[in-house]
Amino acid sequence: MKLKKSAEKSRKKGIRRVNPTIVIICEGKETEVNYFEGFDSKYTRVDVKVADKKSRGKDKGKATDCKSLVERAIYFKENKYDINEEDGDRVWCIFDVDINYKNNNAIQSKIDEIEKAKPIADRNKINLGISNPCFELWFLFHFEYTTANLKDYDAVIQKFNKYISDYEKNKDIYEILKQLTGKAIEVGKRLRKHHESLGRKLPNVEIDKYKAIVKDLVESNPYTNIGDLVEYMEELERHK
């Protein structure tokens, strides 16, 4: 793990003594944390660090809107970890679109919320991991491909329960999913192509995240780019 320390400043240029570090800041504190910590136990060439994962006590009520998550990610990047993108390090904010359709102008409000955060994230090289409607969609991709509009978490879980009937948010299912990771990545790519065929811009985060259009991200349901992050980590593990 590459924590910041004064000794790092004296490190000789060009010498890499540690693994690439992937720092992840999650909106959720159970589902996503359990899943990504599974990767850290699996990898020997990549350090996966889920930051700010305990939010208890006075921090329990921390804002989890996209802009607040990005600001928290910047804090961790600048104060807790020695991040160098050229060495393969990355910082990701993981959050759900999770539109409340009962609210007036719900879709536009969500677009406005993310558009406040994206320029800040881009300037600070923070990647956005967006799931519409929720992170569990990525779990579903391990078992099936679908273009059906999934309005909310319950709609996703109704489909997912065909494969894991006793799923709950605090249930760690990484061991069940890990053998199907490759399939999930391919399903994600196939779904991106589907949305792109409808004229939406949803580029791979590693290839060209700056061209992603927030309106297209929010209006693409179902959609998640968690596969971009997972594929990147898998490639680091294989080739570093």
Q: Where are the domains of the chain?
A: 19-239
Mean pLDDT of all residues in 172-181: 94
- pLDDT, position 1: 54
Check residue 115 and give its pLDDT.
Answer: 97
Contacts 24+ apart (CB under 8 A), 143-149: 143/180, 143/183, 144/187, 145/187, 145/190, 145/191, 146/222, 147/191, 147/194, 147/222, 148/222, 149/221, 149/222
For residue 60, what pLDDT is reported? 47
Q: How many CA within 13 A on the CB side of residue 67? A: 9
Mean residue pLDDT across the chain: 89
Q: Which residue has the tokens 């060439």?
A: 45
- pLDDT value for 68: 95
Q: Are 142 and 226 in contact (CB under 8 A)?
A: no
pLDDT tens, position by position, 104-125: 899 999 999 999 999 999 999 9
Going by pLDDT thresholds of 50, 70 and 90, the confidence category of residue 240 is: low
The two structure tokens encoding residue 99: 């539109």
Tell me how crowded residue 67 is: count the other CB atoms within 10 A of its CB: 17
What average pLDDT does range 81-93 have in this prediction?
96
Using CA atoms, how far apart are residues 237 and 95, in angstroms rounded to an integer?
24
Q: Is the pLDDT of residue 237 over 80?
A: yes
